[in-house]
Amino acid sequence: MKEKFLEVIKEALDVESVEIELTDKLADFDAWDSMARLSLIALLDEHFEVEVTDAEFDKTETVQALFELVKTRMA
Q: For position 54, what pLDDT does the model report?
A: 85
Euclidean distance between CA atoms 28 and 7, whole angstroms:
17
The tens digit of pLDDT for each residue in 14-39 reads 887 788 999 999 999 999 999 999 99
Comparing C-alpha atoms, which of 15, 22, 35 is closest to residue 61?
22
Euclidean distance between CA atoms 59 and 46, whole angstroms:
22
End-to-end CA distance of the chain: give it in Å, rounded.
13
Q: Considering the chain, what percentage of its residues have pLDDT values greater than 70?
A: 99
Name the more confident of 50 and 74.
50
Domain boundaries, the chain: 2-74
Looking at the structure, give the CATH architecture of the domain made up of residues 2-74. Answer: Orthogonal Bundle (1.10)
6 pLDDT more than 90: yes
Amino acid at 26: L
